Chain A
Amino acid sequence: MDDPTSMTDSPITTVAPGWAIVALGILGALAVTAAVLDGALAARARGGPGGKMGGPVRPFGEAARLMRQRRRTTVEADRLLWRIGGAGLLVTAALMVTVVPLGEWTIFDLDVGVMWFNAMDVMVWALVWLTGWGANSAHSLVGGYRFLAHGLGYELPLMFALVAPAIAAETLNVGAVAAAQEGLWFAVWMPVAFLVYLLGVAAFSVWGPFAPAIGTDVSGGARAELSGVDRLVFEAGRYALLAAGAAFAVPMFLGGGAGPLLPGWAWVLVKTVALLAVLVWLRRRLPAFRPDKFMEVGWMLLLPAVLLQDLVVAVIAVWRS
C-alpha cells in the first residue's frame, strides 16, 4: 500500500496539506462574495435597499440573525441524517476544490480529478434528500424528492459535459486539462458542454431554475424546518457549491491560469469570480424548471446535445492526433 495520491505527469505542484486551510479561506471568501452580490441584486430587484439589513450587507445580517436563533425541533426527526445532510454541502464543496489547481498549485493532484469532482457533485443528491428526510416533515420531504427529480434530469448531461474536455485533453487530471488548452479555451470550441456544465452547477447548488426543491410554494422545501445555525450552514453550503462549481469550470473550460500580465493564481481567481457573478445574476433571469417536467428536457434535449458535442470533440481529437 502506497500513498493514494499517485502522481502523474501533470504540470502542477502539490502543496503541503496545511495549505488546505488557505483553500478553505478562498472558498469561504468566494461564497461570501456570491452572497453579497446576491443581496445587492435582491435589493435592486425590489427597487430599494429593503430595510436596515438589506442589500449587500444582507448575508451578514442573516448570519447574525441565524446564529442567535433558537433551533427548531420537530417530532420524531431523524437527527443524525438531518444534520449530515445540512452540514454535508459545505464539506462537499470543500472536497471539490481540493482538485482545482490555483495557477500552478494544487492540494490533491489526483490523476482522476474530473471523476472526483463528479463523485462529489453526486454526493449532493444524497445530502439534499437527507436534509429533506431528516426533519420528518411533509413539505421538507417533498423538497427532497423534488431535488432527486431534478437530479435524474441534470446529472447525466452534466457527466457527459465533463467528458468533453477530458476527451480533448486525453486525461482526467484537472491540471493537465487546463494545460491542454494552450491558445484556445475549451469553452470556445465546446460551448454546448460548457453551457450544460453551468446548468449542472446551478442544479447541484439548488440555485436559480433548480430552486423548486427549496421553493416557497412548499414552504421552503428541503430546508423548511432548518433553523438557526443549521440553516446558516445549509445556505453557506449552497453558496460554497456554487463557488466550487465556478472554480472547477476555470481549469476545465476557461484555460486555467492562462492570461496576460497577471500571474496564474490571480487569473484563476478573476475567472472564478466572473463566472460566479454570472451564475448569481442568472438566478433572477431564468424561470424555474418544474421538477415533474425537467426529466424530459434533460433526456430529450440536453443529453443528445451534449452527446453530439462529445462526438464532435472526439472526432476532432482523433483527427488532431
Chain B
Amino acid sequence: MLTDIAFWGIGLVAVLGGAAVFYVDSMARATYALALSFVAVGMQVLFLQQNYVGVVTILMMVMEMAIMAVYMVMFMGMNPALMPMSMVHSNKTAIAVALTTFLALATGILMVDWPTRRGSPPPDVTMALGESLMGPKMLVMAVISPVMVATIVAGVVLAAHRTRYDRFGDDLKQRPADDPQPGGVGR
C-alpha cells in the first residue's frame, strides 16, 4: 500500500516536472525541471526492481542536464539563456499536435485488448531485460557502437574550422601545437 502510494506520487512528480519544463521562464529552471522529472522516473524504475537501470537513469540524466548548462551559455546567441525567456514557440501547431497525439494514444489504449500476464517475473529482471533487448543482436550492437563513435568524431572533425595545418604549421612540424585554448599536458 505504502509502496503503491510512493510509486504513484513519484509518477506525479515526473509528469509535473515534465510539464514545468514548458511553464517556467528560465533556461536553468527548465533544465533542472527536466532533471527532476528524470530522477523521478529513475526512482520509479527502482520500484520495478530494475535497480541498475534506475540508478543509471538518475546518473546519466543529472550529468546530461549539467552539461546542457554548459551548452546553454556556449551556443545561444546573445545569451538569452541568462535572461528570462519563454520555453514555448509555435503554440497553435504544438497544441494541435499534442492533442491529436494524446487522443490517438488514449484511443489506442482504450481500444486494444490488454494481454494477460503469462508466467512470472524472473529472479533477476535486469538480466532478463538485457537478454531480451540485446541477446541475439549482441554482434550488431557491438558493431554499431564503434561506428557511432567514429561518426561523432568524424562529424566534429568536419565541423571544426581549424585543421591540423593550423595547429602544427604547413610542414606539420610545429610543436607545441598552436591552439587558441592551451591544453594541460603541454602538447
Contact = CB atoms under 8 A, between A and B. Distances in A.
A1 B7 contact: yes
Chain B at the A interface: mostly helix, strand, loop or mixed?
A: helix
B70 A148 contact: yes
A268 B86 CA distance: 52
Contacts of B3: 1-4
Given A112-B55, A119-B55, A296-B185, A125 B66 contact: yes
A81 interface: yes
Nearest to B63: A122
A81 B184 contact: no
B185 A297 contact: yes
Interface string A172-195: 100000000000000000000000
Interface stretch (A38-46, A52-60, A286-294): A286-294
A115 B65 contact: no
A6 B51 contact: yes
Interface in B27-69: 28-29, 32, 35, 46-49, 51-52, 55-56, 58-59, 62-63, 65-67, 69
A119 B49 contact: no
B62 A119 contact: yes
A4 B69 contact: no
A125 B63 contact: yes
A79 B181 CA distance: 34
A296 B67 CA distance: 17
A111 B183 CA distance: 40
Contacts, number: 92
A225 interface: no
Contact of A125 (B4, B48, B49, B62): B62
A126 B46 contact: no
A163 interface: no
Given A1-B7, A148-B70, A78 B47 contact: no
B184 A297 contact: yes
B49 A122 contact: no
Interface of B: 3-4, 7, 26, 28-29, 32, 35, 46-49, 51-52, 55-56, 58-59, 62-63, 65-67, 69-70, 73, 181-185, 187
Given A118-B55, A300-B187, 8 more contacts: A1-B7, A118-B59, A119-B59, A123-B62, A293-B183, A294-B184, A295-B183, A297-B185
